[in-house]
Structure formats: C-alpha cells, structure tokens
A and B are shown apart, each in its own frame.
Chain A
C-alpha cells in the first residue's frame, strides 16, 4: 500500500514531467531550443510508476523520448533544461542535448537517439550489478516502435540466458514515429513476444499509475532476488507528435482531443486520489505551484547560462588526449 508521502511524490514527479514538457514545447516553438525534441507528456504514469521502485544506484536506459524517464530517475531539472537548451551548465555540458541527456551518477544511462538503443546497454548495467554483487537492477524503456528492433530481441534472450536483474518496460503509445503499432508490431502483442523469450511478462494500463507501480514492484522483487528478467507492456498515449512540430497527419479526426480529454494519466490519478480521499486537492495545488516555480527558474537560469566555449569542442572525446 502506497503511503501518502509516496503518492505526493508520485504526483510531484508526474506534474513535473508534464510542466517540463509543456514548457519545452513552448520554448522550442519560440525558437529558444535548438535541434530535435521528442516530448513525453501523456506517458507520465509509466516513468513515474516504474522509477519509484528504483534507488539512485539502480540503472535506467532510456529512449529518444527520454525527458520523463530522466525526471522520474531523479535527474536535476535545471541541469536538464540547460542541457536541452545546449548550455554549458547542462547535465552533459551542452554536448548531448535532448536526445542524449544522461547522468551516470543518478544511474541514468542516457536518453538514446537510436531506437532500440537502451536494452543492450541496460542489460550491460544489469550484468555489472550481477557480477559485482551490488543487488542493483536495471530498467530499459522501449517504445512499441523500438520493440521491433533486433537489439531488443537479442537483449531479451541474453537477459534470460544470463539470468540478469533486468526489466524491459515497453511503452506502447500506439505510434512508432508516424506509423501505427497496429501495423508495425506484426503479432500485435509485445508482452507475448517477451514471454516467448522465456521471461514473465505483464500487461498493464499505462494510464494507471497504480497498475504500473504494482507491475514494477513484482518485476523489481524478482530481479533483486535473483529471479531474472521481467517484461512489462504498458499501454500509453502520446499527447504530441513524434517530435515537436510534427503535423500528425496520421491521427484520426478528433483523436488528439479525445486522448487529452479521456486518457490523461494525471487526471486519472488526481480523480482517484481525491475520490478515495488519499490526498487533498490543496496538497496537489501546492505541488503545482512548487513545480511551476521550479520550471520557471529552470528556464530562466537556462537562458542566462552561457553556451559551451569553443575550447569545449575537443574535450572529452578521449580520457587522456
């Protein structure tokens, strides 16, 4: 049973992701953020429900749509915003950007701009945990699009063969770039594929924080007790296009409005915690204000920070030259 403090934390994380992504979208559209940006709003319950079970020393491998995973794993919000803006004060000193935000010190192995990129790296972290006997676990996030990559299949097989403390989280938001999962996932059943590799697989409603949290609890317990990998397929929705600026011509008429109205994981969470009297509206409002202030100052400080100096071009290519 989740304690009140945990629920407040869950709400804070989900709200932070939502506000962060909405603000990133605005700043991008106004020209303040360069590059390619893929936002995560709509899927907050998955990252939050999953990462709440992890300690700082557990690992997460992420996707090109990685901001939410970073926030849920505990990455610094100001460092993230500055990174997305390409500033020297960013988590990666401005050299990674939105698609490569990482913070190894927080167990965050990076957003990854190669679809299907996270699972091999995440099982590597799981191998480290197993070999070094740390009892840490490693979680990879993959979308429905990424679930079709060979690296993902290979990683699942390796995790079973080597009995690694790995968790494969599949966020099925219905679209891989501009193509429907209904078309691209041939068997239509990502969890079923994982089962075929020889690991338990759970199917959850990714709009339901509580369902994700429960599934992840089972997976983490199995991993920490030496029981090997688990897969979770969470059905989710994408509130935006593949990238900011995507005209989303593949959407049906009224689809986005419907999703935002009926499939908003934050609204679903709020409704439940209020109706079951787990939290008070005033508590949530206080968090909203706190988050808004944090995001405002992250943006403000980000814009005030310098871009990396020219001398940074050739630093950190190698460790010793």
Chain B
C-alpha cells in the first residue's frame, strides 16, 4: 500500500497488465513518442505522461505510436481486438471521438451482437475528458453521455487513484469494449493504492460519504466537489450520501434507488451539458422507480447548453462549482 496519483496508478496498471498478458498492447498517438525523430525515445509517453516508460520495457512492437489518424487506428484496434490482441488504445482528448465515432459506435460496440455472439471485442479506449485547463471548446468536453447511450459499450469514469487501478484492471480483462475516461484535472490527485491486483466490478457505485438526509449522485471529478459540500454540511449536522457511480454504463441503479428511498431527496451533479446528460438519466430513473420516496423535486447541477468557453472567467462558471452544488443541495433540503 502506498500513496499514488491517478497518473501513477494507471501507468503502473498498464505495466503490470502488459507483463501479465503478452496480448495486451498499447496503441495511440505519442504513447511513446520520438519515432522518426532525432531526439530521445519515449519522448512523450502520452501527452500527460500516463504511458511513460512502457516502450522501454515492452518495445515498439507492443507500444505502438500511430500517425494522427484516429479513425484508422481506433478501427485497427477494434479489428485487432477480435483477432487475438487486447488493445488499450488511447484517443488522447475524448473530443476527438468526433473523427472516429463510427469505429466506436458502429463497429466495436456492435460486433458481438451483429455476429451472433461469436466474437469477443476486448478493447479499452482510454481518453481524457473535462474542463478546467483552459483548453477551450475542442479539448474540454464531457462526452460520456454520448457513449453511455450506446448498447455494447461499457463506460468507466474513475474519480480517484484506487478506483482507477481497480477499474482499469477490470477493463483490460473484460471481453467487451470499454471506454475509460480520465479527467485531466485529476491526474495529480492521490490516495492509498494497494500494490497487489484487485478488480472493481462495473456497475458497482461507491459511497464516498454516507448519510440519510440527502442523496448526491456524481462521477469523475465532480465527486470531489460533492464530497466538499457533504463535509461542509456534516459540520452542521446534515449528512449526505455521496454516490460515485464509477461506471456510467452499466449504471448502479440499485445504489441510487436505495439511497433515495431513505433520504427522499436527490441532487445529481454532472459536468456534461445538462441536456441528455447522466444527470437527466439518473433523474429519469428515480422519477420512474422511486417517485413515491421523493420528498422534494430532483435537482440537477450540470454544465449549461453551450460549448466549453476559453476565458477563465467563463470556464470557471461553466463547470459546476462547489457553490452551485451547495446551493442546489440546500435548496433541495429545504424544499
């Protein structure tokens, strides 16, 4: 057991899985870097250094730098996944899903079903999501609702290093396509991470705070802000369940419904644009299945219906703030 950042947890997990299973390969733009150039090998190790060191240990046969051709190499990885490899392919910024969505939505997600169950498609698509780095409209989106709505895909969104390791191990060993979304503002956050392997099952939410006064559902970086609000309320004697979904496909409906049945009050916090978000989805599930437990209207705290702005003054209010979450929670408690 030691303190590790999410970056370290993912990096170490990739190393250990590649050691354990020779069919695991890493594919993407600049996952090593330096190919065809005069400088050092492993010049990048991923734009945020998450795949650093892999090429040194496993070589370029298994750590494959690609041209900037997302449709080509994501599709290639999908084809490799049903013919004997277990690719962990990096899309870099998830906003780039736009140029390769066909490979994800029409190809890898559907192989098992279209082919009558005759193939596994063990592929992990890693990508970075989220605002907060002044990266503006085409490098900052939270597009998890887009993939969470696709049958055949599993979608993982860890909020901490412990979960990142356990969920990535599960993802790599899973026989379906898994979209693994890493929030770029979380890479340096750290917590205790066991050295030994452990698998976190998909569809099993974590309660990061426990209490019966209100239920706050969230995922990825928003969980940290929800925890902050819950801690502040706890100092006042008000206790919240904070549910970190961890995977948004599958969704742990049971955890949400059981909590709401006790608390009767629900706030959902999602960094995605509100329309057709996970916030809308969870709201819909609870409205349908736990309506009579509700003692107040459901509240959603999400990004507005706009692209992610560049100016810091605007980006800071685009992303749900602790103040907005706190206000929504207090309003729901009083409603």
Contact = CB atoms under 8 A, between A and B. Distances in A.
A1 B259 CA distance: 75
A95 B62 CA distance: 34
Contacts of A157: 67, 69, 72
Given A316-B117, A319-B174, A59 B76 contact: no
A104 B115 contact: yes
B267 to A, nearest CB: 28
The secondary structure that dominates the A interface is mixed
A304 B79 CA distance: 34
8 contacts: A61-B79, A92-B115, A96-B114, A125-B83, A128-B80, A151-B72, A158-B69, A320-B175
Contact of A117 (B64, B67, B83, B106): B106
Contacts of A100: 114-115
A157 B76 CA distance: 12
A45 B79 CA distance: 26
A162 interface: yes
B93 interface: no
B118 A92 contact: yes
Interface residues on A, range: 35 or more
A92 B72 contact: no
Interface string A241-281: 00000000000000000000000000000000000000000
Nearest to B110: A100
Nearest to B250: A321
Contacts of B102: 114, 117, 151
Interface-centre pick from B78, B84, B102, B115 (highest chain A CB count, 10 A): B115
Interface in A14-51: none
Contact of B176 (A119, A123, A154, A319): A319
Nearest to A92: B116
Interface string B93-125: 000000000110011000111111111100000
B116 A317 contact: no
B76 A123 contact: yes
A132 interface: yes
A122 B175 CA distance: 20
A316 B80 contact: no
B58 to A, nearest CB: 11
Contacts of A123: 72, 75-76, 79
A103 interface: yes
A154 B106 CA distance: 18
Nearest to B85: A128
Contacts of A74: none
Interface string A55-84: 000010100000000000000000000000
Given A150-B71, A151-B75, A317-B152, A127 B114 contact: no
Given A120-B78, A162-B64, A102 B115 contact: yes
A124 interface: yes
Contacts of B11: none
Given A93-B117, A154-B73, 12 more contacts: A92-B116, A95-B114, A117-B102, A119-B75, A120-B78, A121-B78, A121-B79, A124-B83, A127-B80, A151-B102, A319-B120, A319-B174
Interface residues of B, number: 45
Contact of A318 (B75, B114, B176): B176
Contacts of B16: none
B154 interface: yes
A321 to B, nearest CB: 7
Nearest to B66: A158
B71 A110 contact: no
A231 interface: no
A321 B152 CA distance: 10
B316 to A, nearest CB: 37
Contacts of B203: 321
A105 interface: yes
B81 interface: yes
A317 B76 contact: no
Contacts of A315: 117
A114 B102 CA distance: 8
Nearest to A97: B114
8 smallest CB-CB distances across A and B, nearest first, come from A124-B79, A120-B75, A154-B72, A121-B79, A93-B116, A92-B116, A316-B117, A154-B69
B151 interface: yes
B61 interface: yes
Nearest to A156: B72
Contact of A158 (B76, B78, B111, B120): B76
A282 B23 CA distance: 51
A109 interface: yes
A181 interface: no
Interface in A132-156: 132, 134, 138, 150-151, 154-155
A90 interface: yes
B113 A316 contact: yes
A100 to B, nearest CB: 4
B112 A155 contact: no
A231 B54 CA distance: 33
B152 to A, nearest CB: 6
A47 B53 CA distance: 44
Contacts of B117: 93, 315-316
A158 B78 CA distance: 14
A59 B83 CA distance: 9
Contacts of B76: 120-121, 123-124, 127, 155, 158
Contacts of B113: 95, 316-317
